Structure 1
C-alpha cells in the first residue's frame, strides 16, 4: 500500500467519525465525552481529537458537566452549537410560516404570516424569502446558516424539491426549492410536510426510540402521513408514500379534490372545526384554546363535530394499524388537538375496529413537538448535508 492511498483512507475514516460524533450530539445531546467514547467504540484520545475539531469548526461546544454524585473527575459535556441554524419554511393555504432552528434542536423563532388567500408558488417564495431576509438582519447569536428546509403539504420530488402536486395550494410541477434558493442565495431542500413531521417525532419527539411508527399531520391543507418501518422512512419509489389523507373512510361521503369519494380529509378537516367555532383562521395553538373552551362550556355543536371527526379518524387509524402494524401512531396539528381533548377516546375507538392482534400493543399519542414539529422536521433536511460531511 502506498502512502497516498493510506493517507486517503485515514482521511476518509476521520471524516466518517466526525459525521458520526456530530450526528450523535445533534440527535441525542448533550453527551458526555465519555458517553461518546462508549457509544462509538473509539478510544478517548480519538474522541477528544474529533470533538476538538468540531469545536474548531464551530459546530459543537464543550461545557462543564452538570453536578452529579459520580466519583472521580466528570467528563465534559458536548452539545451541538445552537448558533448554527437552518431556516424552515411551511407554505399553507392561509399563511406562510418561517422558523429559525438551531443545530441543537432549539426553535429560536417562528413567524406566521397570514396570506388572506391561497398563495401561488411565486408568492410563497417571495414571502418566505422576505421573511428569511428580515430574520438574517436581526441581531442575534447566529454564527452560520446551513440552508433552508421546506415542508410542503403535497407530493414533492425530493431529488430536486419540485412540488409535483399540492392540490389544496393549486400547485403543479413547481420548482419551489430551486426558486427559493435563487431568491435567498441559500441552499434549499423540500419534502412532504408529514414525512418531515414523522422524522422529527422519531428523532426528537414522542417517537424517539420507536422503530415502527405512523405520523399523521393535520393542517389547513388537509391530512398527510409519514410512515417509519424498521427505523427507516417508507418513501415509495418516487417519495410519495404516506398519503393516508386519501384513505377511504366513508363510501357514502363527498367527492374529494383528488377525484375519489369519501377520503379521510373530506370528513376530518380543520376548516370544519373553524366553521363550527365561528373562526376565520387559527394556528394549532389558537384552535386548541378555542376548542377546549367550547367543549368545556358544553357547546353541543362543537362537541358533536369533534365526536364526528374523531370517529372518522379512528376508521383511518384502523387501516394504518392493520396495514403497518406500528408500535406507535403520533398525531400532529389539529389531529393532535382532537386527540388531546379526550386522550382515552381515540384508542378505544381504534381498538374496537382494528384487528385485535394489531391493536393490542398499539399506542396513540399526540406530537411531543407541538406547533414546532414542521419547523424541526424541515430544518432537519437542511442540516442533512452538514451532518453527513461536517469536514466540508
Structure 2
C-alpha cells in the first residue's frame, strides 16, 4: 500500500459521497474530516503541485469534498492555490501546492562535519550549511554548533511562515520512538538521549532516526526510487555505510527498529578490522577517507571526491576506486539474492562511485546474482538527501493530523 492509499471501511464524506477510511481512525464526521485533510496535504506535499481535478481523480472524492478540504487547508496556510498556466479549453482547475513556508530544521551530524538545513513542505530546501569539524564532536559540541548555525540562518528563518520542529539524521542505531541513540560508533555516542538536548537548545520538538533509513525514505518519496515497491538503498558517508530496504512499498525496520545495517556485510574475509568486531565488512573496506587519502586530500568530504573523480584523479585514486567498486559489487549481489529488489539506489560517496563506474558496477551485479536484472542508480537528491529525509520525519505529525 503506497503512501497516499488508504484502506478499511466506507464512510460518508462532506460532499455526500462514500469515501474510504483507514482502520483504527475515529469514526464520525470529525474523524473522517481529519483523515481526509491528512490525505490531501500528504498528497500535495509528496506529489504536488496538483490540480483540484487531479486530487479528485487520485482520492476518489467528489469535487465538492476536495474543494472543501483544500479550502480548510488554505485557511490554515498549509497549502496555496494558483491559477494554471497555458490555454486550456473549459474552466481551468486551480493548482494546489504545499506551502514551502511551513518548514523544519534538518540536522545531519557526522565525524567530519555538521550539516544543517531548512526544509519546507514539498521537500524544498531553503538553505543548507555544512560546517567541517577539526575533531570528533561530542553530542554537546554538536548541539552547540547546531545552535550557532541556526542563528546564522536567521534571515532565512525570518522569511518562513512557521517552523515546526527538528529532524535529525544520525549515522548510528537510533530508536526513533524514544529518540535515544543505542550506538553511533564512529562518533563515539552510546546509550544517550539525542532528541532531548536538541529540543531544549532549539526550543522545538525534535525527532531522530538512522541517516541511511531516512535517506531511503527520501529517495522513495522524492527521488530515484519514487514509485518503486521493492528497492535497496545504501548511503556512504564519512562515518561509513548504512542501508534501507523497501519491500512491497514499506520500509523494513526490524523488531527493534535497527534493521538495514547493510554496511556490516562481509565482502573481504580477513580484511580490514571493522568497529563491529569483525574484519572485512563493507563498512571497513569501502570508505570515503581511503579515496581521499589516495589523492593526498585532507578533508572536503563528498564534494571533494566528486571534483576528484570528475577530473584526472591519478593512478592511485583510480586503483582504489576500482577496488572499492569491486567490493561494493560483492555486497550488492548478496542484497539482490536476499531481498530481490527491482532497484538499488546508492547515495553519498557511493553515488560518486556510480558516477565513476556505474555501468560496470551494474553489469557485475547482474552477472553474479541469481535473480533477474536489477537497476543500479545514483540517488537523485544529491547533497540534500539526508536533510530531506530528516525533514520528512519531522513533518510526520503535521501530515498525520493537519487539523
TM band (smaller chain): over 0.9
Deviates more, 1:137-146 or 1:175-184: 137-146
Query: How many angstroms does 1:300 deviate by?
Result: 1.2
Q: Aligned equivalents of 1:114 and 1:254: distance in 2?
A: 26
Aligned to 2:20: none
Q: Aligned equivalents of 2:123 and 2:231: distance in 1?
A: 21
Q: Aligned equivalents of 1:8 and 1:303: distance in 2?
A: 62
Q: What does residue range 159-308 of structure 1 map to in structure 2 within 5 Å? A: 159-295=177-313, 299-308=314-323
* Root mean square deviation, CA, Å: 1.3
Quick one: which of 365, 371, 396 aligns to 1:384? Answer: 396
> Contact (CA 8 Å) 1:227, 1:233: kept in 2 or not?
yes
Query: How many angstroms does 1:258 deviate by?
Result: 0.9
Q: CA-to-partner distance for each residue in 1:4-50, whole Å, 9 max, x for gaps?
A: xxx97101111110000000000100000011111111111111111
Give 3-state SS (helix, strand or coil) of 1:242's partner: coil
Quick one: which of 318, 341, 344 aligns to 1:326? Answer: 341
Q: Aligned equivalents of 1:147 and 1:284: distance in 2?
A: 27
Query: How many angstroms does 1:261 deviate by?
Result: 1.2
Q: Aligned equivalents of 2:68 and 2:301: distance in 1?
A: 46
Q: Aligned equivalents of 1:123 and 1:14: distance in 2?
A: 44
Quick one: which of 60, 74, 79 aligns to 2:92? Answer: 74
Query: How many angstroms does 1:206 deviate by?
Result: 0.4
2:135 corresponds to 1:117: yes
Query: How many angstroms does 1:122 deviate by?
Result: 1.3
Aligned to 1:349: 364
Q: Give the TM-score, by structure 2 length.
A: 0.92
Q: CA-to-partner distance for each residue in 1:62-116, whole Å, 9 max, x for gaps?
A: 0111315x42111000000011111100000011110001102111100011111
Q: CA-to-partner distance for each residue in 1:101-141, whole Å, 9 max, x for gaps?
A: 11021111000111111101111111112222332454642
Q: 1:139 to 1:194 in 2, by over 3 A?
A: closer
Query: How many angstroms does 1:342 deviate by?
Result: 2.3
> Contact (CA 8 Å) 1:151, 1:191: kept in 2 or not?
yes
Aligned to 2:108: 90
Q: Aligned equivalents of 1:107 and 1:244: distance in 2?
A: 28
Q: 1:176 to 1:14 in 2, by over 3 A?
A: same
Q: Give the TM-score, by structure 1 length.
A: 0.94
Q: Aligned equivalents of 2:122 and 2:162: distance in 1?
A: 13
Q: Aligned equivalents of 1:167 and 1:314: distance in 2?
A: 25
> Contact (CA 8 Å) 1:19, 1:389: kept in 2 or not?
yes
Q: CA-to-partner distance for each residue in 1:254-286, whole Å, 9 max, x for gaps?
A: 221110111001110001011011111123223
Give 3-state SS (helix, strand or coil) of 2:304's partner: helix
Q: Aligned equivalents of 2:272 and 2:367: distance in 1?
A: 25
Give 3-state SS (helix, strand or coil) of 2:363's partner: helix
Q: CA-to-partner distance for each residue in 1:186-230, whole Å, 9 max, x for gaps?
A: 000000000000000000000000001111000000000011111
Q: Aligned equivalents of 1:173 and 1:139: distance in 2?
A: 32
Aligned to 2:23: none
Q: 1:269 to 1:107 in 2, by over 3 A?
A: same
Query: Structure 2: which 5+ residue stretches go unaligned?
Result: 1-25
Q: Aligned equivalents of 2:219 and 2:310: distance in 1?
A: 24
2:383 corresponds to 1:365: no
> Contact (CA 8 Å) 1:60, 1:81: kept in 2 or not?
yes
2:156 corresponds to 1:141: no
